Amino acid sequence: MAQTFDGLLVLDKPGALTSRDALDRAQRWFPRGTRIGHTGTLDPLATGVLVLCVGSATRLTEYVQQMSKTYRTTIRLGARSDTDDADGTVTPVEGAVPPTRERLEECLREFLGEIEQVPPAFSAAKVTGQRAYDLARKGREVSLQPRKVHVQSIDVCEYDYPAVTLEVRCGKGTYIRSLARDLGERLGCGGLVQVLRRTRVGPFRPEDAVPLDADPETARSRLLPTAAAVAELPVLTLPARAVTQLRQGRAVPLAERPADAAEHAVLDADGGLVAIARYDQRARFLRPVKVLRDNP
């Protein structure tokens, strides 16, 4: 039987490369037919952490996508772009007045917490079943609806007009290009992303990354356990008999009730991820939501 591979792989995506290009390079490290998926697109201009799920871990991509992200970005004020970044057609704003640092920081506070954000026209967001960037490239008008996103923090690292460098910590679905565009509009001077780097996804950092020029043996040795995909879920460790029941898709009675009914990562005695399960408080059973492949 051919060897199978399961787990997470962290890449540090270089600029001028799409997320799909990076994934295709990683695919060469594994046997033909190995499933691999990335957990959050980075624009070609952007660099940084791109987490791949390999094998059975592809069933857990949404848990990595839900992890908070940290970005370091340099925004150019005093200009606009049709793509909201430096890769597009950039148009300087005539008569733009440089905002003071005090005004900049005051405006940034308006973007904290839960906000509504319209994705860029050149994005993977869908319009009537089609990718927005496909329509935009054909010259079609793109009208996207605002979406709720959550921004935990924005810190000003450097400011020397027209460049402002920010560190942004945010949740799933946040577009830094939209943040740059909207910040520029509120300041009345325009804004676009000049530089963008994702420095963290949940616990994953660039220091964890496998170089894209690594050989297959090295890359495979850097696979992280599948359980890393659910590192932010509460954990339950069950004995062998209960593990077998969960693997069979059966509910398991628990002697001690969990603190809440949220989803839990269920581990076996060796720390291997068995399943994602939810506690049914009324029936007092742990019910499997997703069962992982038994791959010693």
Residue whose C-alpha is closest to residue 31's, from 67, 55, 66: 55
Instruction: Look at residue 49 in the predicted model and tell me its pLDDT.
Output: 97
Q: What is the tens place of the pLDDT at every residue in 200-209?
A: 999 999 999 9
Q: Which of 45-59, 77-91, 268-282 is predicted with the least confidence, judged by mean pLDDT?
A: 268-282
| Strand positions, DSSP E, 14-146 | 36-38, 47-54, 69-77, 79-81, 90-92, 113-117, 126-127, 130-131
pLDDT at 132: 46
Which pLDDT band holds residue 264 (cuts at 50, 70, 90)? very high
Q: State pLDDT tens for residues 73-86.
A: 999 999 999 999 99
43 classed as catalytic: yes
pLDDT confidence of 261, banded at 50, 70, 90? low
Contacts of 129 (CB under 8 A, 6+ apart): none
What are 50's strand-pairing partners?
Answer: 11
Q: Is 85:193 a contact under the CB 8 Å cutoff? A: yes
What domains appear along the chain, each with residue ranges and CATH number?
Answer: 7-65+203-226 (3.30.2350.10), 69-195 (3.30.2350.10), 233-291 (2.30.130.10)
pLDDT of residue 31: 95
User: Exposure of 270 by Cβ count < 10 A (0-12 exposed, 13-18 middle, 19+ buried)?
Assistant: exposed
Contact at 8 Å (CB) between 40 and 202? no
**Cα–Cα distance between 249 and 271 in angstroms, integer?**
20
CB 106 within 8 A of CB 217: no
Write out pLDDT tens, residues 105-131: 999 999 999 999 998 876 655 544 555
pTM for the whole structure? 0.91
d(CA 163, CA 252): 57
Q: Quick one: 176 exposed, middle or buried, by C-beta within 10 A (0-12, 13-18, 19+)? A: buried
* Alpha-carbon distances of 45 from 9, 87, 193, 254, rounded to whole Å: 21, 7, 9, 50
H or E element: which one contains 223? Answer: none
Asked if residue 172 has pLDDT above 50, the reply is yes
Query: What pLDDT shows up at residue 2?
Result: 66
- Which of 75-79, 90-94, 254-258 has the least mean pLDDT? 254-258
Catalytic residue among 6, 12, 43, 268: 43
Q: What average pLDDT does range 184-193 have in this prediction?
A: 98
- Model confidence at 3, in pLDDT bands (50, 70, 90)? confident
Neighbours of 130 (CB within 10 A): 12
**Could you tell me if 226 and 273 are in contact, meaning their C-beta atoms sit under 8 angstroms apart?**
yes
Mean pLDDT, residues 122-143: 52
Per-residue burial over 26-55, b = 16 or more CB atoms within 10 Å of its CB, e = otherwise: beebbeeebbbebbbebbebbbbbbbbbbb
Mean pLDDT value of segment 150-179? 97
pLDDT number for residue 257: 74
